Structure 1
Amino acid sequence: MKISGGEIRPGSVIEHNGGLWVAVKCNTVKPGKGGAFNQVEMKNLMDGTKLNERFRTVDTVEQVLLEKKDFQYLYEQGDALVFMDVESYEQLELPQEFVGDRARFLKDGMMVTVQLYGEKPIGIALPDQLVLEIVEADPVVKGQTAASSYKPAILENGVRILVPPFIATGERVLVDTNELTYLRRAD
């Protein structure tokens, strides 16, 4: 679907210079002289390179619509992670570097969303929040509660986060998987 350069918004996926790019930041500029343009910071979906490009309102680009499918995480096999399509039961193997550091949050049976372009996976989204157990937390130091100080803690998957002083080892907490931050105690 063709759109004008002025219609590009953050999150838009476009075809540009023979590659797939996602708009990260957009800034409409109206100079005193000449026509307005959209200054777009983009990231290549295939190799992760970044590009700053100017699109005038008369320029047209091809907007790409990605298919999103639900997959269930099954297991780790060597350097690959195996997922199952919940509709067709077909298995999909993705390299660990495709998922990145967030692979440590994967648990057996977890549902994820995979973005596909044609049949090729180009992105994966884990749940935004997960309940995890604290396996190691520093003890509370008296007098530390005067200021809003946080202490380091280690989650069951080995990820280190900062938690409030009242959180102890063995407690279950809600964690933001995108920012790697403590949200609150789990119910």
Structure 2
Amino acid sequence: MKISGVDIRPGNILEYEGGIWKVAKIQHTQPGKGGAYMQVEMKNLQDGRKTNVRFRSADTIERVRLDTKDFQYLYAEGDMLVFMDKDTYEQINLPADLLGDAAAFLQDGMEVSLELWEEKPISVQLPDTVEATIVEADAVVKGQTASSSYKPAMLDNGVRVMVPPHIGSGTRIVVDVYERAYVGKAG
């Protein structure tokens, strides 16, 4: 589906110069002289490159629809991760770097969504939040005010997050996967 250069929005998936790009940021600019244009910051979903492109309103670009399919994470095998299609029980191996920093939050049996382009997986979406156990938490410094004073803590998956002072070692908490931030105690 072709769209005009000024209709590009963050989150759009575009086909540009033979690659698949996800729009990160846009800025509409109307200079005093000449036509308006859209400054678009994009990330290549196949190799991770970033670029800035200027699209004029007369330019058209192909917008891509990705297929989303539910998979279940099974296990890690070296630097590859094994996922199973929940419909066909077929297993696929994907490189861990396709997930980036979020890979640390994968748990056995976790349900994830794979975005496919022409039957090839190009990104993996984890749930926004996961439960994790704190294995090590720093002691509270006496005299700190109770409001907005957080302390560092280590989770069972090796990720460090900042938690409120009353959270101690052994506590199960909910963590935002993409922000790596404390959300609350696990219910």
The reply to whether residue 20 of structure 1 matches residue 20 of structure 2 is yes
Q: Take 1:92 and 1:41, find their aligned partners in 2: how far apart are those partners? A: 31
For 1:49-128, list aligned pairs within 5 A: 49-128=49-128
Q: Report the equivalent of 2:29.
A: 29
Cα offset for 1:50?
1.3
Give the number of aligned pairs. Answer: 187
> Aligned AA for 1:152?
P
Partner residue of 2:43?
A: 43
Q: TM-score, normalised by structure 1?
A: 0.95
Offset, 1:93: 0.5
Cα separation, 2, equivalents of 1:47 and 1:109:
27
Q: Which residue of 1 aligns with 2:8?
A: 8
Report SS of the residue matched to 1:108.
coil
**RMSD of the alignment, in Å?**
1.2
Aligned to 1:132: 132
For residue 41 of structure 1, report the CA deviation from its aligned partner.
Answer: 0.9
Q: Is it true that 1:178 corresponds to 2:178 in the alignment?
A: yes
Q: For residue 34 of structure 2, what is the amino acid of its counterpart?
A: G
Q: 2 CA distance for matches of 1:78 and 1:28?
A: 44
Question: Where does the alignment leave 5 or more consecutive residues of structure 1 unmatched?
Answer: none
Cα offset, 1:141, TM superposition: 2.9
CA distance in 2, matches of 1:108, 1:67: 24
The letter of the residue matching 2:183 is L
User: What SS class does the counterpart of residue 48 from structure 1 fall into?
Assistant: coil
Partner of 2:149: 149
1:133-180 CA-to-partner distances (Å, cap 9, x unmatched) read: 111112223222355321111111111111111101111111010010
More off after superposition, 141-150 vs 169-178: 141-150
* TM-aligned CA deviation for residue 100 of structure 1: 2.4
- How far apart are 1:78 and its partner, in Å? 2.1
Normalising by structure 2, report the TM-score. 0.95
Identity of matched residues, %: 58
User: What amino acid sits opposite 2:134 in the alignment?
Assistant: I
1:133 partner amino acid: T
Task: Tell me if the contact between 1:145 and 1:165 (Cα under 8 Å) persists in the aligned partners.
Answer: no
2 CA distance for matches of 1:177 and 1:167? 19
Report Cα offsets for 1:17-42 as digits up to 9, x if no partner: 11111111111111222221111111
